[in-house]
Chain A
Amino acid sequence: MTTPALAAADAMAITRRNLIKYLRVPNLIVFSTVQPVMFVLLFAYVFGGAIKGALPPRVHYIDFLMPGIVVQTVVFGSTQTGVGLAEDMTKGIIDRFRSLPMARSAVLAGRTISDTVRNLAVVVLMVLVGTLIGFRIHTGVLPALVALGVALGFGFAMSWISATIGLVLRDVETAQSASFVWIFPLVFASSVFVPLRTMPGWLQSFARANPITNVANAIRALTLGGATTRPLLYALAWLSAILVTFAPLATRQYRKVA
């Protein structure tokens, strides 16, 4: 049996291998940052004026928007987990890994960890751009770091959903386009871009329960100020529920198909 130490070493070897790709193809990071930055700029300048009226007094739209965009970014980033797995599968790399005496958990663990590291890089770049156009953290270093942790943790959890889908579909293009079918409605019908109270009642109920809303609210509470316990608990509840459901599902699917 592989010991936990060997399993961790295997996961790290795979993580390293996945990350080398981002170092060799820096455009992958650049372009996955350009998109959220574009969202920040477009929403801040195009919709900012219109949305301002719906915000609580003295809250700048950019301060409201950035936490939302951070969640959007990690969720979009998590779709790459399934794409990466589907790609490795079609190229026969997973077969090679499975013929080696390595820990079985390492391929999925390495992939979800490396996608989390990539999310970290993109989020940091984005926050820097946000800061240039006026984004400010109104709390402190510790809450900001907790906010970052929640965002990355949520991206990690979503990676397991993406992994499950990628392993079921086993095709790069299909995995890519399939993820947008469920991710777009989830991201837009949430508090990512606008406060919920401007939505029709039926949509509000959906958006209120939406995990993306809950995570965005927690990050806002941690960066804008205000009560943090409740939003943080809701966010962590969603995060754990997703992990507990999809990590076993993805693992089972991996054993089955790979």
Chain B
Amino acid sequence: MWSTGPVSGVDDVDGAAIVARGLKKRFGSVLALDGVDLEVPRGTVLGLLGPNGAGKTTAVKILTTLLLPDEGEARVAGFDVVRQQEELRAAIGLAGQYAAVDEHLTGRENIDLVGRLYHLPRDEIRRRTGELLERFDLVGAADRPVKTYSGGMRRRLDLGASLVGRPQVLFLDEPTTGLDIRSRLDLWEVIRQLVAEGTTLLLTTQYLEEADVLADRIAVIDRGKVIAEGTADELKSHVGGEVVEVAVRDRSRVREAAAAVVEVAAGAATQTQIDEAEGRVAVTVRGDASVVVDVVRRLDREGIELADLSVHKPTLDDVFLALTGRVAEPTAGQAA
């Protein structure tokens, strides 16, 4: 298990906390990862964004040594995910999609247990546990069994437990999935503070908004492949231009409206998205939004009444659609 020499194929990239090259993983007939490359510089946040089943969790499991890759190589905090698992685990923290805390233990006991398993000295465990309970606003509930906690409290405790060993690299697998909006905003705030203190973070999410708010760089993963990588702005400019969105009063005429808008935009339309149930059409156009005036005139002439009209910069939703040809999962605000 002890090997400290450089590992071929994953040269130490200066300052990179996570480097992965060509990760592949197959489960039976399903190719969960199909050659994933990632690079996360120290002290930065990478958002791994993709729909359910895209391979996000598989990638995190490989990087945290829970799974072995079939092919490819990766290093986290300088340690190889296959050959230096023990050293690697001492350098990372993982908080999961399902808050992996013990229901019957109290909040304090949960953090204490994780501290023991990091083999920290007793007095340091005590001090860290106190600090983390305070920081995550769990002091009042610290000595109650976790089964009395709300969903948001469990996530905060889970995150707190993952920090007890002061990890160099933190992995958060869908940290806010299933949380209500208030709890999500609270958790975002905590994560932002952590990042401000210089923790390297890899965050998976199916919420475009979450990646936009928390991540320095975003890797969009779909069907086991990274299909785009960059800052949120880079990805948005990749889609280019502006999105013209119209909502029609008579929903049965939504296709007619879409055709009219595309025709008006002529060659400038790069992508059209129609939501028949809502009677909405979103058309991405290159260049500026001057086309809006023509759109209004044209729809008026055809007698299609407008309920709403807006022009906005592309969101990550638009990016996702442009990259995959499919609509992304519901955004954070709409999720149940």
Bound Cα distance from A228 to B205, whole angstroms: 64
Bound state CA distance, A2 and B1, in angstroms? 11
Assess the A95–B86 pair: CB atoms within 8 A: no
Judge whether B86 and A96 touch: CB under 8 Å: no
B129 contacts chain A at the CB level, 8 A cutoff = no
Is B113 a contact of A1 with CB atoms below 8 Å? no
Chain B residues whose C-beta falls within 8 Å of the C-beta of A24 in the assembled complex? 104, 145
A1: contacting residue among B1, B66, B89, B98, CB under 8 A? B1
Tell me which residues across on chain A come within 8 A of B102, comparing CB atoms.
17, 21, 93
Binds A, one of B114-122, B263-271, B303-311: B114-122
Is there an interface contact between B86 and A101, defined as CB atoms closer than 8 Å?
yes
Q: Which among A13, A91, A92, A95 is the interface contact of B117 at CB below 8 angstroms?
A: A13
> What residue of chain B has the Cβ atom nearest to residue A106's Cβ?
B117
B92 and A99 contacting across the interface, CB-CB below 8 Å: yes
Contact B98 A101, beta carbon cutoff 8 Å: no
Given A20-B105, A101-B86, answer yes or no on A95-B116 (Cβ-Cβ < 8 Å).
no
B65 A1 Cβ-Cβ under 8 A? no
Chain B residues within 8 Å of A6, by CB: 119
B104 to A92, Cβ gap below 8 A?
no
Partner of A100, one of B1, B117, B145: B117
Given contacts A20-B104, A20-B109, contact A2 B96 (CB under 8 A): no
User: In chain B, what residue has the closest Cβ to A13?
Assistant: B116
Digit string of B75-97 for contact with A (CB within 8 Å is 1, else 0)? 00000000000110110111011
CB distance from A99 to the nearest CB of B (A): 4
Q: By the criterion CB–CB under 8 Å, are A98 and B65 in contact?
A: yes
Shortest A178–chain B CB gap in Å is 23
Per-position binary interface string of chain B over residues 1-23, scored 1 when its CB falls under 8 Å from any chain A CB and 0 otherwise: 11000000000000000000000
Residue contact A97 to B117, C-beta cutoff 8 Å: yes
Contact between A99 and B64 (Cβ–Cβ < 8 Å)?
Answer: yes
- Is B100 in contact with chain A by the CB < 8 A criterion? yes
Chain B residues within 8 Å of A9, by CB: 116, 119
Give the interface size bracket for B toward A.
Answer: 20 to 34
A-binding residues in B (CB < 8 A): 1-2, 61, 64-66, 86-87, 89-90, 92-94, 96-102, 104-105, 109, 113-114, 116-119, 145, 161, 165
Residue of B nearest to A21 (CB): B104
B1 contacts across to A, CB distance below 8 A: 1
A132 at the interface (CB under 8 A from B): no
The residue that A99 contacts in the complex, of B2, B87, B89, B145, with Cβ under 8 A, is B89
Report yes or no: B105 in contact with A17, Cβ–Cβ below 8 A: yes
Q: Report if A50 contacts B (CB, 8 A).
A: no
Q: Are B65's CB and A95's CB within 8 A?
A: no
A10 contacts the other chain (CB 8 A): yes
Interface centre among B93, B94, B97 (most CB of A within 10 A): B94
A59 contact set on B, CB distance < 8 A:
none
Interchain CB contact under 8 A, B104 and A100: no
**Quick one: which of A1-45 are within 8 Å of B by CB?**
1-2, 6, 9-10, 13, 17, 20-21, 24-25
B174 to chain A, nearest CB (A): 11
Across the interface, B89 reaches (CB within 8 A) one of A10, A17, A95, A101, namely: A101
Contact present for A95 and B100 (CB under 8 Å): yes
* Chain A residue nearest to B92 in the complex (CB): A99
* A100–B89 touching, CB < 8 Å: yes
A127 part of interface (Cβ distance < 8 Å): no
Query: Which single member of A25, A91, A95, A102 contacts B66 (CB below 8 Å)?
Result: A95
A9–B122 alpha-carbon span in the complex (Å): 12
Interchain CB contact under 8 A, A92 and B105: no
B-contacting residues, A68-109, CB 8 Å: 91-93, 95-102, 106
Given A20-B105, A91-B98, A92-B96 in contact, is the A102-B117 Cβ separation under 8 Å? yes
